[in-house]
Amino acid sequence: MNETTLQLPGEVRITDEADALYDELAADLLDVAREAVEQRGQFHLALSGGGTPEPFYVRLVIDPTWRTLPWKQTHIWLVDERWVPREDARSNFRMIREALITQVPTPAEQVHPVPTTSADPADAYEAAMREVFGDLAEAPPLDWVLLGMGDDAHTASLFPQSAALDVTDRWIANNDGPNVVPPPRITMTYPLLNAARNLRVLVTGAKKHATLRRIEQHMKEHGPDPSVLPITGVSPARGNITWFLDGPAAMGAGG
Ligand code: 6PG
């Protein structure tokens, strides 16, 4: 840990070196997972794609401490997906399956990829969630949700000025439009993300520093503004959110 201050909406944890950061995040995951299994018999984990979390997933499966995660009681969900076949190089599920899922003993029926070959993947994915959680009026509380952040402050596949930002009556939405980085996406919506018990945002690398400063500034001056900075719309109703940053993300290239 170091003295850098960065005020973001939620708790901020800064760890200089990436591997040490992954260990902090993994320790948090293990605590939450054990408690969920103890209290409710199962653990609902939602994972993001993109490049940032891949080394974290690999660390989870190679380090003996993290291998003790209660994988058999875990359900694995996707925070978002690109609308491509599962074998496509851009598929988030493909990356997560190769890095993690093939290496852990989670039963196949507890692994929930987005059905991207369906005519309406968002509908189909929400139906899959309703089978597991029941046909609830409110979004279910996922136990631990890992988010990333793009340079444009998108998170999940909630891009600036895109249609999915305004969805209030669904847990999952398809998303496309001029600001959505192709291919079209399927994403958890704010109502589902904000119902989570524990949200974690993993941001690494100096390239993301300017965006973090922009969020800090914008929050100070205007408060949250999801249409411009979608990640500022993530605000858990009853849960908590923690940002896990490495030194370069927190301090920039000169830090
Ligand atoms: C995706 C993600 C997305 C990601 C950000 C950051 O499908 O791409 O789930 O929300 O977290 O785009 O991506 P990087 O980690 O590659 O910078």
Pocket test for ligand 1, best of 86, 147, 157, 185 (most atoms within 8 A of CB): 157
Give tens-digit pLDDT for 12-28: 999 999 999 999 999 99
Distance CA 121, CA 255 (A): 43
Given a cut of 60, whether residue 50 has pLDDT beyond it is yes
Number of residues assigned to the chain: 255
Average of per-residue pLDDT across 46-52 = 97
Distances from the Cα of 126 to the Cα of 81, 114, 161, 188, angstroms:
13, 9, 23, 9
Atom of ligand 1 nearest to the CA of 51: 16
Take atom 8 of ligand 1 and give the residue whose Cα is closest. 50
In short, whether 92's Cβ falls inside 6 Å of ligand 1 is yes
Per-residue confidence band for 5, with pLDDT thresholds at 50, 70 and 90: confident
Give tens-digit pLDDT for 124-166: 999 999 999 999 999 999 999 999 999 999 999 999 999 999 9
Take atom 12 of ligand 1 and give the residue whose Cα is closest. 150
Indicate the CATH number for domain 16-206+240-251. Answer: 3.40.50.1360
**Model-wide pTM > 0.95:** yes
Per-residue confidence band for 1, with pLDDT thresholds at 50, 70 and 90: very low
In short, whether 52's Cβ falls inside 6 Å of ligand 1 is yes
Distance CA 182, CA 112 (A): 23
